[in-house]
Amino acid sequence: MEYRHLGRTGIKVSAIGLGTMTFGEQNTEADGHQQLDYALEQGINLIDTAELYSVPPRPETYGATERIVGSWLAQGGRRDKVVLATKIAGPGAVLGVKHIRGGSNVLDRANLFAAVDASLQRLQTDYIDLYQLHWPSRPTNFFGKLDYQHHDAPQAVVIEETLDALAELVRAGKVRHAGLSNETPWGVHRYVQLAETTDRLRVASIQNPYSLLNRSFEIGLAEMAIREDVGLLAYSPLAFGMLSGKFLNGARPPESRIVRWSRFARYTNPQGERATAAYAEVAHKHGLDMSQMSLAFVRQQPFVTSVLLGATTMAQLATNVGSAAVTLDAQVLAELDAVHRSQPNPCP
């Protein structure tokens, strides 16, 4: 397993991380523990979760994923072997979520302290290595939203207050480092600018979607990630499973999330289907497993710190972790770029 620097923190994380948002919904506690055991055995040290999880978010499963990760950690001897990352939920109206702290979950001091304390309890640990802001407090474009329309919202919290609260949590020993998620180029710039000009806490990473079907990170954020050492923790690298090939030719496995829940339709538009078929042809031509090819593409990008994998079966997880041994040559990369140029970012 390859390990990479997490921003300027001095911590090294595995180039493949384990995403856990299916734990407590599509995966049982026993499933989750099996995945975590396997990940650790394979050299994965980055474990990513969130207070929002399981997904889709609902009151009955709120915090379930953290509790499953916590019961695994409580078995002993593992906490110092992992880099534990979790997230505070942003304003609930974005996702139609009203069950987190009464729907008042903005990124202010009160919410940050309440969220961290609750996560620590569920995770059964004294500290969080990387505490991430799941989505911004301000109205902006994320979760596939396009056509930015500027307006100030009364619930928006200034970034200075968020950073000051995070710094308090670091001084208290509850959090080691902070990261962003679903952020924009302006947002990253503002966080970094405040760290440099006002001596505030510096963010270490950004967790945004990135895959062959959505390379929008390259447009404005890739340069920020490299120049400012705010590397990408890439989520949805298989685009909700589309890039595994299991949905080719209109197939819809009944157990998949895009079949079970209509909210997961981000990658199933006609142009996404066409692009996926073209990427499948590249994989077939070069004798590559489509999942491994897609994940290796993400891992090989210079702005990527770690690729966050999620799986509902051990077979999927084994295949996906196996992508760590795959390196795409110049010819394959050129053919993938040719598909991208013919249909850029079909699923932003």
Report the C-alpha gap between 305 and 4 in whole angstroms.
6
Dihedral angle sign, alpha carbons of residues 262, 321, 125, 29: positive
Please spell the DSSP secondary structure of 248-304, one letter per residue.
GGG---TTSHHHH-TT--TT-SHHHHHHHHHHHHHHHHTT--HHHHHHHHHHTSTTE
Q: Which amino acid appears at position 278 of this protein?
A: A
**Whether 53 is catalytic:** yes
Question: What does DSSP assign to residue 40?
Answer: H
Total count of residues recorded for the chain: 348
Per annotation, catalytic residue among 53, 62, 267, 279? 53
Q: 110: which 2 tokens?
A: 């009160």
Residue spans of alpha helices (H) in the chain: 29-41, 64-73, 109-123, 159-171, 185-198, 217-227, 257-260, 270-285, 290-299, 314-321, 330-342
Report the C-alpha gap between 269 and 206 in whole angstroms.
26
Report the C-alpha gap between 236 and 15 in whole angstroms.
15
Phi then psi dihedrals of residue 277, to 5 deg:
-60, -40
**Considering only CA atoms, which of 172, 212, 166 is closest in space to residue 323?**
212
End-to-end CA distance of the chain: 30
Q: Which residues are catalytic?
A: 53
